[in-house]
């Protein structure tokens, strides 16, 4: 595993640089990331390049066994460029132009900025593309972060009009498909179409909060903006690929924080990279982002380009608590267990100046190594011990499906907002499966479904006819499908289907949606589940798709006017089963439902028992089962195992009980496995 830190030699005096180099060399790490905000040093004047300072650091680190990830610095264009070309500045949805002085103040569609970005990228590629001390490249930094991904400048407005024309061909066709007759919004010409006033962009301000625009227009602007970011990224990716064989990526933020479709954006990249800042003080680190990362480029490792390093001050001013002793090590090994090929802490040494001054780091401003540094040092040694098992494979038989169109549509026109969040709900399904002993993958709608025995489809709000057919064939061929409320409600134009819901799939599920409503505290009702091996009760939640039809009722209401009505169903279709979950369920009932479907699919739970705040990750190496166990319980605990297991690091065997320390982890191998 490539393990290390983000480092900023451009900030350092000669003495500070020498001091840091000694600490970095002694730390045992093997990777640093540099350069993402240093354009003004790389090109202090137009056309005059200076990379000597960076080349010196790359060489010093490289000779010490530490390779570098070199970043293109386009997240922060230099002052001379902005002064000469103010037309390249970003304009937000309120019409406000971002000035020089922060970061991410450029328009990614501006042709002038694209030209300058290409020039600096080529200079970097020429100098570092073949360096033996480099291991990869990062494009830009956190594209679209801090509400910089939905530009409204004249270039973007004109380009969006052309996007709409290219897609819909005639204005009459656009008016028809979008239903612009509603509120009399028919257009005469594509040049009249402008980006929507309001936005779903994280951290952006609504210009007119009670101004409701056409959902088709708004979804198309999300797609256009995502595609524009990808175009800009690929200008740099194509240049880098001409000069280097090292992996090229960028660093996303979250699964959809910045509304870039990562399934699309990584097609021209060598791996998926992202930043992750979970809490590490008596808190379970959510592994859903790692499972998502594995599925972005199936079969390829993923990189964590920035990760938590400590506590104290933070960017926003509220501060972060320090991690527990051992929590940094535990979190790094957890990412390793889930398939990460790189983990870099942000950052090595606290900044004394700038917008991120005083922020958390591995080493404090005074440069004195303390517990976080020594824990990083221990982690580096530990990763060397674990290197022989790094090539272990995943053999998950269940998958959770996610989709950007459905995510965007459910933010544009929310359902039970803010309680229901699409990706959070998908993550809940993933976590409940894990707690019941079933690891799962997180995949896109375009992935190969045939390798999975169970497919969980949360709120597939937008579906195409082709995707409906794909689900149909999956079930026909023997798969078990669990779809939830809000399935197949809208078409790809973000327009509601006028046929009975779930559109195009009523025969597959054997149900029709009879009526719908959000579930609040005042209208909650009880549901009784009758499963193969158990019965249980739960309150409903989030939403209700009340069901009718010929399917077997697994769940029915027991109160109010809904008493006796079906809310959870199962239907035989072809060789498989299609289940429809018309409402949310409590933890216990949801767990029973998911575990029952796993058993029906012929899946066996992990013999090492997962539980709340204890994660078990199963890998397979040379036919042998390995289990990583992570204790997030905020105390010592004992984990039960149904089979004898061998502790890979300690060299002992556990017959029934596996003792675990607070913030500890264990790697065990199934003992005497044939």
At residue 299, the pLDDT reads: 79
Is 156 marked as a binding-site residue?
yes
Determine the Cα–Cα distance for residues 406 and 201; give it in Å rounded to an integer.
15
At residue 333, the pLDDT reads: 98
Is 109 marked as a binding-site residue?
no
At residue 208, the pLDDT reads: 85
Determine the Cα–Cα distance for residues 240 and 370; give it in Å rounded to an integer.
38
User: In this predicted model, what pLDDT tens digit does every residue of 588-615 receive, in sequence order?
Assistant: 999 999 999 999 999 999 999 998 999 9
pLDDT surpassing 70 at residue 674:
no
pLDDT surpassing 80 at residue 584:
yes
User: In this predicted model, what pLDDT tens digit does every residue of 252-292 receive, in sequence order?
Assistant: 998 888 889 999 999 999 999 999 999 999 999 999 999 99
- Cβ neighbourhood burial of 352 (10 Å; 0-12, 13-18, 19+): exposed
User: In this predicted model, what pLDDT tens digit does every residue of 625-661 receive, in sequence order?
Assistant: 999 999 999 999 999 999 999 999 999 999 999 999 9
Determine the Cα–Cα distance for residues 111 and 234; give it in Å rounded to an integer.
14
CA distances for 259 relative to 36, 44, 185, 199, 546, angstroms: 21, 33, 26, 11, 32
- The phi-psi region of residue 35 (left if phi > 0; otherwise alpha if psi is between -120 and 50; otherwise beta) is left
What number is the average pLDDT over the span 503-522? 97
Q: Which tokens go with 399?
A: 């998958």
Which residue in the block uniquely carries the two structure tokens 């399904």? 429
Q: What is the DSSP string of 550-570?
A: SSEEEEEE-SGGGTT-EEEEE
Q: How confident is the model at residue 205 (pLDDT cuts 50, 70, 90)?
A: confident
SS3 286: coil
Q: Kindly list the structural domains of the chain, giving each domain's residue range(s) and its CATH number in brackets, ordered by start.
A: 2-149+229-389 (3.20.20.80), 154-222 (no CATH), 398-600 (3.40.50.880), 614-670 (2.60.40.1180)
Is 103 marked as a binding-site residue?
yes
User: In this predicted model, what pLDDT tens digit does every residue of 104-146 receive, in sequence order?
Assistant: 999 999 999 999 999 999 999 999 999 999 999 999 999 999 9
At residue 17, the pLDDT reads: 97
At residue 207, the pLDDT reads: 80
At residue 94, the pLDDT reads: 93
pLDDT surpassing 90 at residue 315:
no
What number is the average pLDDT over the span 309-316? 84
At residue 672, the pLDDT reads: 77
What number is the average pLDDT over the span 543-562? 97
What number is the average pLDDT over the span 161-187? 98
At residue 319, the pLDDT reads: 85
CA distances for 203 relative to 28, 199, 257, 258, 656, angstroms: 38, 10, 10, 10, 49
At residue 673, the pLDDT reads: 61
Query: What is the residue-averaged pLDDT of the chain?
Result: 96
CA distances for 176 relative to 387, 560, 577, angstroms: 58, 41, 37
Q: H/E element holding 381?
A: helix 371-386
- Cβ atoms within 10 Å of 650's Cβ, excluding its own: 11
What number is the average pLDDT over the span 562-591? 98
Is 523 marked as a binding-site residue?
no
Report the interhelical angle of 327-337 vs 371-386 (nearest 10°): 30
pLDDT surpassing 90 at residue 247:
yes
Residues identified as active-site? 142, 306
At residue 317, the pLDDT reads: 64
């Amino acid at each position: 595993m490539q393990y290390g830190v983000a480092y900023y030699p451009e900030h350092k005096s000669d003495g500070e640089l020498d001091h840091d180099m000694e600490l970095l060399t002694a730390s045992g790490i093997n990777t640093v990331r540099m350069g993402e905000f240093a354009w003004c040093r790389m090109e202090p004047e137009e056309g005059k390049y200076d990379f000597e300072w960076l080349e010196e650091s790359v060489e010093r680190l490289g000779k010490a066994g530490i390779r570098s990830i070199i970043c293109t610095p386009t997240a922060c264009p230099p002052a001379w460029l902005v002064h000469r070309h103010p037309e390249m500045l970003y304009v937000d949805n309120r019409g406000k132009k971002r000035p020089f002085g922060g970061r991410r103040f450029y328009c990614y569609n501006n042709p002038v900025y694209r030209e300058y970005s290409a020039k600096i990228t080529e200079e970097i590629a020429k100098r570092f593309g073949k360096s033996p001390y480099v291991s990869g490249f990062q494009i830009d930094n956190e594209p679209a972060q801090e509400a910089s991904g939905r530009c409204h400048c004249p270039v973007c407005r004109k380009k969006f009009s052309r996007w709409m024309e290219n897609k819909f061909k005639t204005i009459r066709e656009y008016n028809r498909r979008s239903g612009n007759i509603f509120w009399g919004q028919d257009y005469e010409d594509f040049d009249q179409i402008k980006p929507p006033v309001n936005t779903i962009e994280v951290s952006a301000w609504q210009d007119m909060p009670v101004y409701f625009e056409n959902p088709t227009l708004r979804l198309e602007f999300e797609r256009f903006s995502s595609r524009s970011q990808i175009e800009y990224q690929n200008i740099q990716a194509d240049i880098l690929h001409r000069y280097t064989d090292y992996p090229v990526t960028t660093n996303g933020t979250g699964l959809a924080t910045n509304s870039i479709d990562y399934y699309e954006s990584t097609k021209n990249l060598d791996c998926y990279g992202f930043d992750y800042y979970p809490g590490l003080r008596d808190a379970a680190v959510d592994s859903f982002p790692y499972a998502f990362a594995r599925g972005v480029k199936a079969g390829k490792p993923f990189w964590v380009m920035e990760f938590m390093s400590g506590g104290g001050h933070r960017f926003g001013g509220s501060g972060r608590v320090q991690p527990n002793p051992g929590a940094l090590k535990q979190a790094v090994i957890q990412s390793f267990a889930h398939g990460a090929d790189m983990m870099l802490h942000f950052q090595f040494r606290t900044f004394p100046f700038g917008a991120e001054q005083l922020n958390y780091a591995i080493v404090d401003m005074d440069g004195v190594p303390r517990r976080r540094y020594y824990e990083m040092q221990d982690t580096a040694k530990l990763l060397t011990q674990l290197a022989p098992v790094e090539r272990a494979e995943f053999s998950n038989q269940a998958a959770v499906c996610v989709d950007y169109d459905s995510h965007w549509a459910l933010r544009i026109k929310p359902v039970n907002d803010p309680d229901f969040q699409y990706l959070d709900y998908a993550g809940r399904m993933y976590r409940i499966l894990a707690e019941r002993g079933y690891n799962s993958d997180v995949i896109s709608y375009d992935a190969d479904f045939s390798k999975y025995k169970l497919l969980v489809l949360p709120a597939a709000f937008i579906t195409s006819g082709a995707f409906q057919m794909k689900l149909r064939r999956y079930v026909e061929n023997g798969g078990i499908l669990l779809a939830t409320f809000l399935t197949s409600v809208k078409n790809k134009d973000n327009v509601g289907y006028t046929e009975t819901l779930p559109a195009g799939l009523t025969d597959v599920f054997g149900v029709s949606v009879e009526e719908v409503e959000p579930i609040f505290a005042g209208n909650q009702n009880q549901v009784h589940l009758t499963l193969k091996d158990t019965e249980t009760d739960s309150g409903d939640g989030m939403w209700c798709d009340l069901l009718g039809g010929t399917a077997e009722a697994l769940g029915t209401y027991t109160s109010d006017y809904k008493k006796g009505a079906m809310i959870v169903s199962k239907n035989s279709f072809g060789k498989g089963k299609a289940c429809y979950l018309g409402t949310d369920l409590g933890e216990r009932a949801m767990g029973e439902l998911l575990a029952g479907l796993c058993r029906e699919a012929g899946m066996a739970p992990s013999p090492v028992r997962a539980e709340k705040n204890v994660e078990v990750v199963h890998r397979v190496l040379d036919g042998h089962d390995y289990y990583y166990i992570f204790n997030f319980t905020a105390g010592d605990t004992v984990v039960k195992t149904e089979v004898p297991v061998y502790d890979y690091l300690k060299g002992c065997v556990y017959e029934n009980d596996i003792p675990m320390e607070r913030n500890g982890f264990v790697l065990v191998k199934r003992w005497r496995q044939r």
